[in-house]
A and B are shown apart, each in its own frame.
Chain A
Amino acid sequence: MFLLLPFDSLIVNLLGISLTVLFTLLLVFIIVPAIFGVSFGIRKLYMKTLLKIFAWATLRMERGAKEKNHQLYKPYTNGIIAKDPTSLEEEIKEIRRSGSSKALDNTPELALSDIFYFCRKGMETIMDDEVTKRFSAEELESWNLLSRTNYNFQYISLRLTVLWGLGVLIRYCFLLPLRIALAFTGISLLVVGTTVVGYLPNGRFKEFMSKHVHLMCYRICVRALTAIITYHDRENRPRNGGICVANHTSPIDVIILASDGYYAMVGQVHGGLMGVIQRAMVKACPHVWFERSEVKDRHLVAKRLTEHVQDKSKLPILIFPEGTCINNTSVMMFKKGSFEIGATVYPVAIKYDPQFGDAFWNSSKYGMVTYLLRMMTSWAIVCSVWYLPPMTREGDEDAVQFANRVKSAIARQGGLVDLLWDGGLKREKVKDTFKEEQQKLYSKMIVGNHEDRSRS
């Protein structure tokens, strides 16, 4: 049996008291406001302080770099090559023209020159291609004291290193346990709360309780990530019987949107913790969960979604049509499935500020747990959410055109680049139809010439 020295018992007491104080603070400043949906503005203050510190750190680095003659800023990489904007037709005509000026009337129809264009284009894409750039995280121009964003981290000054070390200490030893505790609280409250609400008889009271349990738990999760969200145009928030579409950067998007509105989720049934959460949630209100086998059957999926949407008492569905996480500099092709259903679409644009922590989930590089840990050890997640006015499919549009229209609206609002490419290219290959288009254009030119010649 250990003999507790008076000194030891003092430490134990202090520990006990500080833990109690910590938990009371936690409750008062974080959980209670989450329940009622109010905010003390602590996070905004935190953000302002951090910005001041970052500005100081960047200045310090600039000074240090100048002293040592180092290259500080990464080259402004918008690509290494300047791609020619001329089209296929113009370029080939030009080459042929320069050839035929010196030769006789009969120049080979398929001039050896045509290969130039495709050869050069091929080289250009090998050196630098639009699509792959979108799938790696954005690069920052000022340092935010996270070594993961500074690729050229070198020792600049003692003060800066001390500050960085302090940052690491705060993030890992203070913020991380706090956030994990909050996340734990949030998730367990969600599971317990929704299960309890599930036992209530159906009616207005059940709906009321369900809505508030959901909102409360999502708000706690938002605080668990120290997410500072600014909502714009809240009058356009989705209503019952509509579909909410948004661009996708990370799994956190769901938490961000769901903490400001009451949605029905759509997704695959998972095992493990996710499965537990899903089963609990569906007891309180109808979400749409698909079995793995059902996901492949597009008609089945469309049917279930249509049924849900037509029932006006059910909640708006939340869908991410890109199908995968993009790095938040552009919006990729929207899959047309959700736009074929014929319901009102409420587009939402989400734009993250990478200065405080990069929210992009590169699923080929990081697993879910690693990703969450990275999120919880960043300073904060800052983002803006814009609710755009609702859109419906017009008479002469097909689903693909409608999807593109919505996509452009979202890209414009969020300040993201509107790309035609399919987000699925992260893992798969290009559809043959695109390749054929290019070849058809080229062949048309050849055949056109051929016919002109045979006529003359």
Chain B
Amino acid sequence: MGAAHSASEEVRELEGKTGFSSDQIEQLHRRFKQLSGDQPTIRKENFNNVPDLELNPIRSKIVRAFFDNRNLRKGPSGLADEINFEDFLTIMSYFRPIDTTMGEEQVELSRKEKLRFLFHMYDSDSDGRITLEEYRNVVEELLSGNPHIEKESARSIADGAMMEAASVCVGQMEPDQVYEGITFEDFLKIWQGIDIETKMHVRFLNMETMALCH
């Protein structure tokens, strides 16, 4: 069948680009179609159809990450209006487990990519630094919805955390030295030596066809 051939070529191409197997790609394609309502692209509104996602306090940041041009590798800043299936897979591939057989350089690269994804989540104005304001914003979102925590305590928590990060990255500061914000290098420094691999991946099942006999 003609249609089947060009489809499988596309699949192979995607396999190469993103690292998923063809079965996983097929499964994710079905999920993509479910989310998009059979359209070729997804918009932000389509993520409203995932009820479990509503429970997540940083829901808006996660959805935003899908449309972030930096994650899609389409530019240094800004948001795309809609994404197609390839973009969807690109974002998903940030959560693939690191292939430890690949060699140290590759492993280090994958790790950096994942941390960069997280960095982009914090750094919402794409200026390359996580400022105090941006950090406060994340903390407020994580704690939003709880009436017992006032905005003040959320702020103080954020401020405290920022100071700790500064001391780790810059060391002792002069009294009038202003800490501009956490750059990506500082971010990496904070995470040096800590194993994030298992926390930043989703375990994809191997889609082997299990023939069930009656």
Contact = CB atoms under 8 A, between A and B. Distances in A.
A126 interface: yes
Given A132-B34, A447-B153, A81 B56 contact: no
Given A81-B202, A102-B194, A438-B55, A114 B212 contact: no
A111 B161 contact: yes
A130 B52 contact: yes
Size class of the contact patch on chain B: 35 or more
B19 interface: no
Contacts of B34: 132
Contact of A439 (B47, B50, B57, B199): B57
A443 B143 contact: yes
Contacts of B201: 120
B5 interface: no
A57 to B, nearest CB: 13
A80 B143 contact: no
B157 A429 contact: no
Best-buried of A71, A80, A131 by chain B (most CB within 10 Å): A80
Contacts of B212: 73, 76, 141
B92 A127 contact: yes
Interface in B7-64: 23-24, 27-28, 31, 34-35, 47-59, 62
Given A107-B164, A442-B57, A129 B52 contact: yes
B149 interface: yes
A176 B120 CA distance: 60
B165 to A, nearest CB: 7
Interface string B125-143: 0000000000000110011
Nearest to A106: B164
Contacts of A439: 57, 142-146
A109 to B, nearest CB: 6
B143 A125 contact: no
B53 A447 contact: no
B200 interface: yes
A453 B142 CA distance: 20
Given A98-B194, A102-B193, A116-B118, A129 B51 contact: yes
A118 B157 contact: no
A125 B58 CA distance: 13
Contacts of B53: 122, 125-126, 129
B203 A81 contact: yes
Interface in B91-148: 92, 95, 118, 121-122, 138-139, 142-146, 148
A426 to B, nearest CB: 10
A253 interface: no
A442 B55 CA distance: 12
A151 to B, nearest CB: 10
Interface string B186-210: 0100100111100111111101111
A132 B62 CA distance: 19
A77 B24 CA distance: 11
A82 interface: yes
A107 B164 CA distance: 7
Given A108-B161, A122-B56, A443 B211 contact: no
B160 interface: yes
B158 interface: yes
A423 to B, nearest CB: 11
Nearest to A107: B164
A109 B161 contact: yes
Contacts of A110: 139, 142, 157-158, 160-161
A79 interface: yes
Contact of B211 (A72, A112, A122): A72
A113 B198 CA distance: 13
A214 B189 CA distance: 77
Interface string B49-89: 11111111111001000000000000000000000000000
B27 A122 contact: no
A112 B35 CA distance: 30
Contact of B31 (A106, A128, A141, A435): A128
A440 interface: yes
A120 B95 contact: yes
Interface in A414-450: 421, 425, 429-430, 432, 434-436, 438-440, 442-443, 446-447, 450
A132 B211 contact: no
Interface string A133-173: 00000000110000000000000000000000000000000
A80 B187 CA distance: 32
A103 B62 contact: no
A124 interface: yes
A82 B198 CA distance: 13
B35 to A, nearest CB: 8
Contact of B202 (A91, A103, A120, A432): A120
A76 B23 CA distance: 12
A401 B6 CA distance: 54
A450 B59 CA distance: 25
Contacts of B202: 81, 120, 123-124, 127
A99 B168 CA distance: 13
Best-buried of A71, A79, A112, A125 by chain B (most CB within 10 Å): A112
Q: When A and B form their complex, which 7 residue pairs have the shortest distance between CB atoms, in order from nearest? A: A108-B161, A430-B54, A125-B52, A443-B146, A122-B62, A439-B145, A108-B164
Interface of B: 23-24, 27-28, 31, 34-35, 47-59, 62, 92, 95, 118, 121-122, 138-139, 142-146, 148-149, 153, 157-158, 160-161, 164-165, 168, 187, 190, 193-196, 199-205, 207-212, 214
Given A112-B118, A447-B149, 15 more contacts: A72-B209, A76-B212, A80-B28, A95-B199, A98-B195, A102-B194, A112-B190, A116-B200, A117-B199, A118-B58, A132-B34, A429-B48, A435-B145, A439-B143, A447-B148
28 contacts: A74-B209, A80-B27, A81-B202, A81-B205, A95-B199, A112-B161, A114-B142, A115-B142, A118-B57, A118-B58, A119-B200, A120-B95, A123-B92, A125-B50, A125-B53, A125-B56, A141-B212, A142-B214, A430-B54, A435-B57, A438-B55, A439-B142, A439-B145, A442-B57, A443-B148, A446-B149, A447-B149, A450-B157
